[in-house]
Amino acid sequence: MLDLDGTTLFITHAGEYWVDFGVDIIGSVVMAVLKVGIASYEAMKARTMAIARGEYKPARGEPKVWFTSFESIAKVLSAGNRELLGVIVARRPGSIQELAAMTGREKSNLSRTLKTLERYGIVQLKKGEGVAVPEVVERLTRRADLRKS
């Protein structure tokens, strides 16, 4: 285990990496730890197939979100995207259009970003009354007091 400025890196026996992120996204709203795994596409596919065949059962606490590199994590969890997650949690937009107005981002760009975040299990696009309503998945949001030292 290696701690890098609040990010804990676990190296597993299979040559995969697990990374714990605790991200302060806005005021007193804190993202809980998001465990992500890093492995090659081939390793992720083999793991998924072993799970599907019943040959492997993931241990409690293993990552549910997987990336192929640290670079891909950095892109998906960029400062801008973390800020976007904070707006979603704090202001609860009723649609992507409403979120676009709140953030000043183009709806088409925002839609692509949200679909990427959804693919990684970070955001859900729930069906509202004729619109998609963006929400940060519940397991990632917690209310907590920040005790800054």
In a domain, 40, yes or no: yes
In a domain, 148, yes or no: no
Longest dimension (CA), the chain: 48
d(CA 19, CA 7): 7
Range of the domain at 8: 2-143
120-133 tens-digit pLDDT: 888 999 998 889 99
Q: Per-residue pLDDT for 3 more than 70?
A: no
In a domain, 67, yes or no: yes
d(CA 99, CA 104): 8
Q: Is the model's pTM score more than 0.95?
A: no
User: Which whole number is the average pLDDT over 73-97?
Assistant: 87
124 contacts 144 by C-beta, under 8 angstroms: no
In a domain, 66, yes or no: yes
In a domain, 9, yes or no: yes
Give the percent of the chain with pLDDT over 90: 32
Question: Residue 144: which pLDDT band, with cuts at 50, 70 and 90?
Answer: very low
Q: How many domains does the chain have?
A: 1
Q: What is the CATH number of the domain that holds 87?
A: 1.10.10.10
The token pair at 103 is 């953030």
Q: What is the pLDDT of residue 101?
A: 96
Looking at per-residue confidence, does 23 or 64 come out higher? Answer: 64
d(CA 93, CA 100): 9
Which amino acid, residue 52? A
30-65 tens-digit pLDDT: 445 677 788 889 988 999 999 999 999 998 878 888
In a domain, 149, yes or no: no
